[in-house]
């Protein structure tokens, strides 16, 4: 029997509002020792914002991280996986889209995240 995403995902992910400043998002990442946050509104995923997004898409272009919001530099509508998908299907999505993390979404609501490190290597 194949293992499901819900069996290996991390729940309780960190999210910011779409209008949160990049400074606010970066401070949250630092406080929680994480490299990305979800951008969400009312529990619905709008995008993923990484520390690299802040650096490359905003700061490197001279944007003011106090006035630029999270939604404007995040990766919108990221590739997602459902909690009842197989771990093998999640791994296949990660490989195909060259990502290390997938938001786990069900009925439009973000439930968690599954990362490459969560998946068994033989999947």
pLDDT string in tens for the chain (123-residue length): 579 999 999 998 899 999 999 999 999 999 999 989 999 998 889 999 999 999 999 999 999 999 999 999 999 999 999 999 999 999 999 999 999 899 999 988 899 999 988 877 654
Q: What domains can you pick out in the chain, each with its CATH number?
A: 5-118 (3.10.580.10)
Going by DSSP bridges, is the β-strand pair 10-11/109-115 parallel, antiparallel, or unpaired? antiparallel
What is the pTM for the complete model shown?
Answer: 0.86
Write the burial class of residue 16 (CB in 10 Å: 0-12 exposed, 13-18 middle, 19+ buried).
buried
CB-based contact 2:17 (threshold 8 Å): no
pLDDT at 2: 75
Dump pLDDT digits (tens) for 74-100: 999 999 999 999 999 999 999 999 998
Question: What is the structure's pLDDT at 32?
Answer: 93
* Side-chain-facing half-sphere of 20: CA atoms under 13 Å: 25
Q: How many CB atoms are closer than 10 A to CB 9?
A: 21
């Amino acid at each position: 029997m194949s293992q499901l995403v819900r069996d290996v995902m991390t729940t309780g992910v960190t999210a910011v509002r779409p209008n949160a400043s990049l400074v606010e998002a970066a401070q949250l990442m630092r406080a929680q020792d994480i490299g990305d946050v979800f951008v969400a509104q009312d529990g619905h995923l709008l995008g993923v914002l990484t520390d690299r997004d802040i650096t490359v898409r905003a700061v490197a272009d001279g944007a003011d991280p106090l006035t630029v919001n999270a939604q404007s530099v995040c990766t919108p509508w990221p590739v997602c996986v459902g909690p009842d998908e197989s771990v093998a299907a999640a791994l296949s999505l990660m490989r195909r889209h060259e990502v290390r993390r997938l938001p786990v979404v069900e009925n439009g609501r973000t439930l968690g995240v599954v990362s490459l490190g969560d998946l068994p290597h033989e999947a």
